[in-house]
Structures are given as C-alpha cells and as structure tokens.
Amino acid sequence: MVRRPTLPRVGCLVMAACCLAGGACTSTTTGTTPVDAGSTQVVLYPYAVPPGFPVPPVPVDNVVTDAKVLLGRHLFYDVRLSINSTTSCATCHHQDKAFTDARPTALGATGEHTPRGSMALMNVAYAASLGWANPLLQTLEQQLLVPLFGTHPVEMGMAGREDVLLQLFETDPTYARLFPQAFPGDNAPFTLHRMAQAIASFERTLISGGSPWDRFAAGGAPDAVTVPARRGAEQFFSERFECYHCHGGFLFTDNGGAQGAAAERPFHNNGLYNLDGAGGYPPDNQGVFELSGNALDMGRFKAPSLRNIAVTAPYMHDGTLATLDDVLDHYAQGGQVQDGGIHHGRDNPLKDSLVRGIEMTPEERANLLAFLHALTDDAFLTNPAFANPWPPAP
C-alpha cells in the first residue's frame, strides 16, 4: 500500500524569495574531478548549475562523466533502439518542447498510444519520482526500461529483442568506440545495464534555469520580465491563488528537490474527472490508485514542473486542456466543468482542498499568463549540447 502523503506547505520559495524579497541567489559549480576507473582516470561532468539550484544528486554507482553523457546522448536519439527503427527517446521528448512532444498522449513505434502524455525532461535529475503516477519509480535507470521494454502499452517495443540491442552496441563503429570510453574500467561494457546508465547520465544534464524570470530573480537583470509578469508572480505565490503549494521551489513543482528517504512524493487530484459522482476517473487513467488500491488515491497525479510550461501544451496527464488559458479556466472554476455532463470534476469528493476555485479579473489572468511565459528558457530549448549528435540521414 502506498502511503498518502500530506500536502506540504512550501516555506522556502527559492525563486519567489529572490525576487519579491529583493534577495539574490548564488550559483554552485562542480569541478572536473578525476575519478579512478581501474587503470584509467575519467573526469566528472562539469556541472555549472543555475542560481538557486543545487548540484544534481547522482547514484554512487553511476557518476556522471563527459564520456557517459556523450554515449547517452547518442543512445537517446537513436531510432534503432525501437522495434522498427522509427522511434527513439527523442521521438517523444523534443528539445524545443522542453523534451516533451506536443501530443495529448504519447505514440509508440507500432502506432499504439499510451494513456498519458510524455512528461517534460528538463531538471529530471532532481525528480523525487518519475512518471505521472508511480511513487515507486525513483531512478532514471529504472524509468527508461519502461518505454524500451514495456508491452502494455508498446512504446519502443524491444521486449524479447535484447540481443538485437547488444549486437548493435558491439558492431556499430560509434558505439564500439563510445561504450569503452564511457566505462573504461569495464572489460565487457556492451550491456543493457551500461546503456541505461549512459542514457540516465545524459538526462541528468538537462538542467533548465535560465528563463527571464530566473535572471530577474537572481537580481542582475531588473528589466528581464515585464511589470505584468511581476504582478503575476505576486499572485502565483499568494495565499489567495495558492499556485505555489503544488508548484513551488526552484523546480516549480512539489515533487522533487530533496532526495532519498527525505524526499516528498506528493500526488494530487485536481478535479479533472468525476465520472460516477464518487470521484471516478477513466479506467486506464486512475492515477496512484492503480498501484496502491487505496480509494483515496483515485485520480491523484504528479504536479509537473511549470518551467517552460508555455511550450509543453497540451496540459494535464492526458492532454485534456489545450492551452494555458484552459488551465486557468480549470483552476478558476475549481475543477473541470463539462457542458451537459452529469458529474463535474469540480464536485469530485476526492479533489485536493486547495483546488477550490478563484475569481480573477481579466488583468489578473493576463498577469498570470505573463508570469508563466516568463518561465521559458530559450537557451535550454536551443542548447546544442542537448541536440541530436547523429549526422543527418542522406
């Protein structure tokens, strides 16, 4: 049974405090520390994290190195990791969309849709849990095996074809070079375990914290955001609007930041459905309830980060809401209202108490939209270090 965590009241609002209290954050940078790997020294990936961000936690058995990141980047963009060589990790995670894909639900290699949309991958290194509604899925090395080998639904379709992947790693000239470089202390590095470690290492470098709001909050760019965006921030972090309780901290989500046993992994029912008048959600999309069997977990999903939110439409776990205006309508109403429907999500008895509806003026709506757009990190969306490393097909 999965414990139903209490909703935290976020006390340290890193990005808000820097701006609204007039303070300044400091940045942290890791060095290029040599690590002994057998008879070869490797160099740790030189993280240069944004102001207000800690250095990402990494597993002790999978330190992030330049060589692993390069290998993982090639694997992330390789369509040969799918059953019909049509789908890579990047197929559902486009850099210009903050590593999501603009679809309501993800489309697998064989044409089968998943019940949920692809989650954005920026800052995934800090996530306390992965996926929309699985408190137990806590490492990137675990998570990537789900789309690669899962069968319900089929995403990349490589279950039972593990030998094909191993042959690719050993025979492709690029991989024949990159695997040994990434794992110099391993005499037999061409394994699925090493593949997972490399892709996870690349994903841990996808850090986004350079939006106009970040520059303004750090104190060095007072003109980086508009006056309406600043007003929108005041609304966002106010007790009247309540947004920050689920979308606070430097990640703009309450699912992440702290790691390990201390990490909070809250999930929320935001009143999107109420099919039976008792809080019911669609059979293939019932949130944490699918794992826990606890009736109180019906419809509880992860609150995604709001960083780069303007480029990650459509919204909600199944793409129900097409635009940010639709999202504001949803929360202004206190949940979903279906025209002509019998049971409104707004009346869901399991709905989080913070989703209670709010009256906002047209100006306040415009302010909130301006603030949300100010969270777009254009440098992250175009950073060549995260782009496809493979040469274009002839």
How many Å apart are CA 277 and CA 368, to the nearest integer?
31
Most confident range (mean pLDDT) of 16-25, 299-308, 337-346 is 299-308
Query: Is residue 113 very low, low, confident or very high in pLDDT (cuts 50, 70, 90)?
Result: very high
Band the pLDDT of 341: cuts 50, 70, 90.
confident
CA distances to 45, 184, 383 from 178, rounded to whole Å, are 16, 10, 22
In DSSP terms, 363 is beta-bridged to: none
pLDDT score for 12: 28
pLDDT (0 to 100) of residue 41: 55
Domains delineated in the chain: 34-208 (1.10.760.10), 228-378 (1.10.760.10)
pLDDT at 264: 59
Which one, of 76, 25, 101, 88, lies nearest residue 205 by Cα? Answer: 76
Calculate mean pLDDT across residues 14-22. 31
pLDDT at 34: 44
Predicted pLDDT of residue 343: 87
Backbone angles phi, psi at 244, to 5 degrees: -70, -20
pLDDT value at 351 more than 80: yes
Backbone angles phi, psi at 154, to 5 degrees: -80, 125
